A and B are shown apart, each in its own frame.
Chain A
Amino acid sequence: SYVLTQPPSVSVAPGKTARITCGGNNIGSKSVHWYQQKPGQAPVLVMHYDNDRPSGIPERFSGSNSGNTATLTISGGEGGDEADYYCQVWDGSTDHVVFGGGTKLTVL
């Protein structure tokens, strides 16, 4: 089955840039979606199709996807960005939704 690998945690200083990676075999050939989940809340879609922001998501959020790594980039980190972030793809070979293990972003 297809596996997505994320670092368990990423830290960023306020105002700096955070990069959260999502590794998968030839993930560049797939569409990657990203979700933000704050404590006690449902996940929210913050990036789809690698680098397309849904309506209402700040321009500080951007994405890329190439080779074996997709990346969610958050510029000008703020305290409100502290959350768990999950990448997700559709694995057409098994018809499965696949999530990465999640990355806890800390702004300190």
Chain B
Amino acid sequence: EVQLLESGGGLIQPGGSLRLSCAASGFTFSTFAMTWVRQAPGKGLEWVSSISNIGDSTHYGDSVKGRFTISRDNSKNTVYLQMNSLRAEDTAVYYCAKMAWDIILIIPYGQLDYWGQGTRVTVSS
């Protein structure tokens, strides 16, 4: 059974930093890309960042580029999101999701087939 367990969320002041973790189990972690998606209160889903299966390629949404860094440790089956220079608008539930391989394009960035339950980040003074 695939499980994704996020941790590291909490209350942080504007300008501060936070590192989220997502521990994965139930599948061969090093085979699949991983993604972070966030959802602000009462809003829709917003893609944050994705990382390839071996970590050699990373991608970021425009609103977080230059402030957030995604990484992974395949020996620990864990993906991370380092969040710096946090702003009030970064307040959201952050979900970790496994990406399936796109079987048509033959790239690691297919559908998000499994999601964690999310960790809440609140940026406020």
**Residues of chain A having any CB pair with chain B under 8 Å:** 1, 31, 33, 35, 37, 42-45, 48-49, 54, 84, 86, 88, 90, 92, 95-102
Q: Which of A31, A33, A84, A97 contacts B47 (CB 8 A)?
A: A97
B45 / chain A contacts, CB cutoff of 8 Å: 35, 37, 43, 86, 88, 99, 102
Identify which of B44, B109, B111 contacts A99 (C-beta below 8 A): B44
Which residue from chain B places its CB closest to the CB of A42 in the assembled complex? B115
The winner among A43, A44, A88 for most chain B CB atoms within 10 A is: A43
Bound Cα distance from A60 to B67, whole angstroms: 43
Q: Which of B35, B44, B47, B109 has the most chain A CB atoms closer than 10 A to its own CB?
A: B44
Q: Given A1-B62, A35-B45, A86-B44, are A92 and B112 also a contact pair (CB < 8 Å)? A: no
Cβ–Cβ contact A96 & B112, under 8 A: no
Q: How many residue pairs, one in A and one in B, have C-beta atoms under 8 Å apart? A: 69
Contact with A along B40-72 (1 / 0, CB 8 A): 000011110010000000010110000000000
Partner of B112, one of A1, A31, A43, A101: A43
Q: How far is the CA of A36 from the CA of B44 in the complex (A)?
A: 12
Q: Majority SS of interface residues in chain A?
A: strand
Q: Choose one: B61, B105, B111; the contact of A96 (CB below 8 Å).
A: B61
B50: which A residues are within 8 A, CB to CB?
A: 97
Given contacts A31-B104, A42-B95, contact A96 B113 (CB under 8 A): no
Task: Give 15 pairs: A residue, B residue, CB < 8 Å, sorted on A.
Answer: A31-B110, A42-B95, A43-B37, A43-B95, A48-B111, A84-B44, A88-B111, A88-B112, A90-B102, A90-B105, A95-B109, A97-B50, A99-B47, A101-B44, A102-B44
